């Protein structure tokens, strides 16, 4: 096919309705590992949707990192009740409120970045709204829920913005087996294999299809000995060679991450001025 001379192809990742590149980042980490602070080094203007109740402590920091966009983010808190204290009808109303806020942020033409602070909490809320509980739901019943979640993630992708979703961690339990390979059965749960935590392993809470449309996967770290925060690149679809690398201290910010994964892309294309 021969294109007319006047035709100019958009750079990969740039949407017709935006002059900037879109990007999907999912991060994970324990409490106080710098997840929320890291998101505020993304290009603004930004909308910070807060499901995690701990974000206000970050804003009270008298000495924020120099990479934080101080006045370029709008904070939108969402009240999410605990699973033990909410009825399914209440969860449904909260879920509808959250999705309205999210869609409004995605459709806002002035917002360059949208942060979902506590995305694992949003999946818990979505599950509560669908089933009235978050545990002991047969996998076959989760098909519709998982499809709806993928559609929500695709909606974020279609916005053409930078989307950053933070997630909490939970203990990772593994099936237990005898020396001969036979499963050890749980005496307290007839018919089920015993599952135990090894004391050190954790995994991401929430939706477990992490690779779907998320271009970058991060893990946030805190070095207590050196009193510094860091971010590890778990997955980078565009540049797998940097996977496993950790950006510590003053390098733990969005501009450095982008320069590490995409050294060939000008920072202006992400929205930095």
- pLDDT tens digits for 120-139? 999 999 999 999 888 878 88
For the chain, percent of residues with pLDDT exceeding 90: 53
Q: What is the pTM of this model?
A: 0.85
Residue 9 scores a pLDDT above 50: no
Maximum mean pLDDT: which of 20-34, 131-145, 241-255: 241-255
CB 38 within 8 A of CB 250: no
The residues spanned by each domain of the chain are 23-168+205-270, 172-197
With CA atoms as reference, report the closest residue to 25 among 203, 254, 239, 207: 254
Assign domain 23-168+205-270 to a CATH class: alpha beta
Better-predicted residue by pLDDT, 22 or 187: 22
Tokens of 59: 């804003």
Residue 70 scores a pLDDT above 80: no
CA distance 211 to 214: 6
Tokens of 215: 């271009």
């Amino acid at each position: 096919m021969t294109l007319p001379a006047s035709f100019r192809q958009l750079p990969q990742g740039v949407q017709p309705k935006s002059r900037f590149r879109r990007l999907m980042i999912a991060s994970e980490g324990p409490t106080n590992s710098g997840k929320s602070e890291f998101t505020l080094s993304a290009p603004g203007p930004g909308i910070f949707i807060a499901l995690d109740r701990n974000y206000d402590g970050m804003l009270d920091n008298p000495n924020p990192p120099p990479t934080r966009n101080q006045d370029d983010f709008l904070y939108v808190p969402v009240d999410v009740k605990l699973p033990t204290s909410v009825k399914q009808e209440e969860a449904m109303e909260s879920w509808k409120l959250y999705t309205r806020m999210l869609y409004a942020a995605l459709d806002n033409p002035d917002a360059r970045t949208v942060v979902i602070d506590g995305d694992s909490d949003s999946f818990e809320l979505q599950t509560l709204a669908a089933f009235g509980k978050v545990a002991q739901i047969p996998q076959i019943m989760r098909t519709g829920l998982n499809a709806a979640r993928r559609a929500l993630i695709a909606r974020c992708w279609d916005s053409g913005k930078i989307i950053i979703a933070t997630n909490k961690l939970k203990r990772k339990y593994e099936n237990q087996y005898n020396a001969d390979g036979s499963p050890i059965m749980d005496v307290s749960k007839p018919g089920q294999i015993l599952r135990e935590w090894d004391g050190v392993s954790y995994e991401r809470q929430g939706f477990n299809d992490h690779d779907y449309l998320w271009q970058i996967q991060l893990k946030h770290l805190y070095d207590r000995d050196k009193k510094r925060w860091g971010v590890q690149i778990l997955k980078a679809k565009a540049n797998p060679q940097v996977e496993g690398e950790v950006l510590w201290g003053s390098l733990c910010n969005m501009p450095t991450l982008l320069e590490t994964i995409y050294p060939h892309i000008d920072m202006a294309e992400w929205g930095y001025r």
